[in-house]
Structure formats: structure tokens, C-alpha cells
Amino acid sequence: MEIGIDKFIKLVEDEFDDLEPGIMKPESKFKEVMEWNSINALIFVALVKTEFDVDVNADDLIKSQTVQDLYNLVAERAK
Amino acid sequence: MALFKADEIRLAGMAASVPSKTVNNRDYSWISKKERELLIKSTGVETKRVIEPGTATSDLCYAATTKLLEDLQWDPKDIGILIFVSQTRDYLIPATSGILQERLGLPKSAIVLDINQGCSGFVYGLATISSLMKTTGIEKALLLVGDISSLNSAYRDKSTYPLFGDAGTATAIEMKKGAGPMYFNLQGDGKGYDAIIIPDGGFRNHLSKKSFDYKKHGDGIYRSNLHVALNGMDVFNFTLREVPPNAKALFAFSGTDPASLDYYIFHQANKLIIQTITKMLRLDKDKVPLSIDKFGNTSSASVPLTLVSELRDQLNAYPVKLFLSAYGIGLSWGSVILETDGMVCPEIVEYKK
């Protein structure tokens, strides 16, 4: 993937209005810092699909814990 | 992919009817105020119309059809095909199309049939009725498409209840020499048949006492087996995976530059899905009208309802080049490119019981 984790975090921060800039670190547990729910999950899926053409499903998100996990997931699948 | 065209057929008119009762998602007290705001922002559904007990899908379609026939000055005796598309038909058996045939006064020589499709129903119905007209030579036909999905969703299921609204529509179609082709691309994938499903009450799992039992299926999600179960993430992923390639294949097959089209109408599943597809296909979002804020997801009715609600003046006034795309339960999806040539589009009919 062309972008590093810092830019990835910036993209996520821009997408979720409630997210305070800077609060999200690679080691942060995203389900805690961003009030995770089913709608936010869909917003994340839409974001990575439009930005990187990467498919992420419900299982992927259940298995992921940290922001780094999300980044790795997307980076592995990006074409 | 089933790519094909049907020429010398035009849309003569289109009408829609919605129940007068409005439900506002800001009053949906099953979830917190904050959750309601997030729900409205992402799904786009602020209000929706829901039927009063006793109103059937055919009542809404009948109201739309009588208004349309009156404005078109069509005699019901001249109509040779009636297709009713719905997943909330009036009775388990018989088909609803016959009930509408009788009520509207269509002749006994007419071909009448039901099609059991939901979200993709308008595109499937239009493809079927056009193909029948081509093979039979029947010159006037009615495509009646509607759903009252509000009856299927449990109030205590936040994954379905706030989404669905009720509507019935009528589209009048006629043969016309020289009318430009409609291009279709229909697809389906039954592997995902259970992504949106009402498990009980049909003939696989017949109605039983247990069918009525409520169970918890997740945070804020309680329903019985007589309610619709919606796997939001699976349906969302399916849509993003299948709908853009389906559209691109149709653009290529029909030799259409997408930018040359006037409007792109998507099934009003939820705002986030429509916005994401719009981005993926790089379409001009100003040419993607939405009606989901007012009417919610009206299943099969959503494409014609959006046309009548958002583009009525344009459709009445001049030719409009349209791309219509519908997708969902089945799983089933399809798209059509067509050019109107001055339609009769009455205002939305408010249905009062």
C-alpha cells in the first residue's frame, strides 16, 4: 500500500467526525477510541473500499483489535 | 451477465402512492438520541411513510394506477399485460395481480402475473414486461411495483425497523415505433438467499407457535422468526462488490459514456451505500437524486418512487436519459439505461385509509 499508517489514521479521523484528531495511535484499540457500533463498521468498510478497493467483512473486524491490525489488514489486501 | 436490449418500447407514465401516516426516526425511542442521530446521518432515513392496519400493497398500487390512467387517459380495456412485483403480496395465495386486474377493470384477455422480487424488483419487472410485449406484440402494459415492508420489521430491531417505509407505484408502458432501446443487465446470486430473510410463515418453515417467540440477536436487536432478519454487513459488502461492475458492464454494452446520462437512480437502500457506489463509479453526485430522507427504504418501490418524487417536473417536461440500478434481497441485482420522451407523471398520491 502506498500510504503509511500515519496517513491511514488521518483518513479514518477525517471520516469519523466524532474522533478527536490525535487520539488514535497505532496501538489504540479502535473499538474503544471510536465508540464502535454496526454503523461505524459500515462506514469503515465503505472507506477502505473507496480509497483502496479492499474488501473487509464482519469477521475481519471482529478479529482486529488495534488500529495497527486494521492497517495491516488493508495493506495486505491493497492491490 | 445477462446483457440485452428491448427497443420500440417507451415509458408512457409513472405514478406513486404513499400512506399519509409519517413516522420520524427522531422519535424512535428504542435507541438513544445519539444513536438516532448517527442512524439518520448514515442511513439518510429521517421520516418514512407507514400503512395503517388493514392497508395492503395492492391498495397503494391501485391508488397510483387509477391516478395514472386518468392522467394518461388510458382505457383499462386496452391494457394487455399487468405485472405486480412485490414481496408483501396481499395473500399467501392467490397472486395479487389478479386482484388488481379485477379491481382496475382489465379485460380477461390480459396476461396477469406476480413476480416475487424485492429491492431489484422494478428493474426485473421492467425487463420482463418489455420482453413479453416484444414477443406478444401487446401494445399497452402496466407494471405495478410496491411493498409494505414496515409490517415485516420488529420495533425492537434497530437493524431493520428504522429503515423500511411503504409505497406502491404504477408504470405505464407502451409500444412505439422508433422508440430507443432500453439496455438491461440482470444478475443474481442465490448463495446469499439468507442475507435478508423472514424464516417462518412460508412453506419451508410453516407457521408454528414458536414462530412468534422473540429472541435476542445482538445489541438492540430483538425479533421473532416472522420478522425480517437483515445481515447488514453482508448486504453492504455484496452491494459494493457487485453493483459497480454490473453498471460498468452495462455502460460498455450500451456504448454509453456515463457522463452523458442525466440522472443515476439507485435503489434507496441507505444513503451510505448510495454515496459509496457513486464514489466508486466516479459519478457526479448532483445527478444522483435521493428520496430516502422522506420515505426510507421502500424495497421494490424505491426506484420509481424516487423518479416520481425527485424528477417529476423533468420527466413531464422533456426527454431524460436515465441509469437505474437496483440491488438487494435474493440476492438479486440489475440495471437499465433508457431515455424517456415526455412522460405523464402525476404528483405523489397520499393514501388515506
| Residue B317: all three cell numbers together | 417536461
Strand B263-266's sheet: what is its strand order? B2-6, B182-188, B332-339, B321-328, B263-266
Cis peptide bond prior to B69, omega within 30° of 0: no
- Domain of A62, CATH number, reads 1.10.1200.10
Give the pLDDT confidence of B155-204 residue by residue, as tens digits. Answer: 999 999 999 999 999 999 999 999 989 999 999 999 999 999 999 999 99
- Cell 422522506 belongs to B294
Residue ranges of domains in chain B: 1-353
Domain that holds residue A39: 5-77
pLDDT of residue B305: 98
Overall residue count recorded for chain B in this entry:
353
Q: How confident is the model at residue B1 (pLDDT cuts 50, 70, 90)?
A: low
**Confidence category of residue A23, pLDDT binned at 50, 70, 90:** confident
Are B345 and B315 in contact, with CB atoms under 8 Å apart?
yes
Three cell numbers, residue B199:
424464516
Tell if the pTM clears 0.90, that is, is over it.
yes
Q: Is the pLDDT of residue B102 over 70?
A: yes
Option in A43, A50, A58 nearest B42 (CB): A43
Q: Which residue's entry shows cell 390480459? A: B110
DSSP string computed for B288-339: ----HHHH-B-GGGHHHHHHHHHHHHHHHHS--EEEEEEEETTTEEEEEEEE
Establish if A23 touches chain B: CB-CB under 8 angstroms.
no
Q: Kindly state the average pLDDT of the residues B64-89.
A: 98
User: Which residues in chain B have Cβ-Cβ distances shorter than 8 Å to A42?
Assistant: 42, 232-233, 236, 272
Residue B325 pLDDT: 98
Mean pLDDT taken over chain B? 97
Residue contacts between A and B (CB atoms, under 8 Å):
44
pLDDT score of A20: 82
Contact predicate B304/B122, CB 8 Å: yes
* Out of B39, B233, B280, closest to residue A41 by CB: B233
- Residue A3 confidence (pLDDT): 85
For residue B343, give how far its alpha carbon lies from the nearest alpha carbon of chain A (Å): 36
A39 and chain B: CB distance < 8 Å anywhere? Answer: yes
The phi-psi region of residue B113 (left if phi > 0; otherwise alpha if psi is between -120 and 50; otherwise beta) is beta
List pLDDT tens digits, range B244-274.
999 999 999 999 999 999 999 999 999 999 9
pLDDT digits (tens, 9 = 90+) for A25-70: 999 898 888 878 888 899 999 999 999 999 999 899 999 999 999 9
B205-230 mean pLDDT: 96
Fold of B1-353: Peroxisomal Thiolase; Chain A, domain 1 (3.40.47)
- CA-wise closest residue to B89 among B67, B111, B57: B57
Number of domains in chain A: 1
User: In this predicted model, which residue has the larger pLDDT, A6 or B305?
Assistant: B305
CB contact under 8 A, A42 and B39: no
A57 touches chain B (CB under 8 A): yes
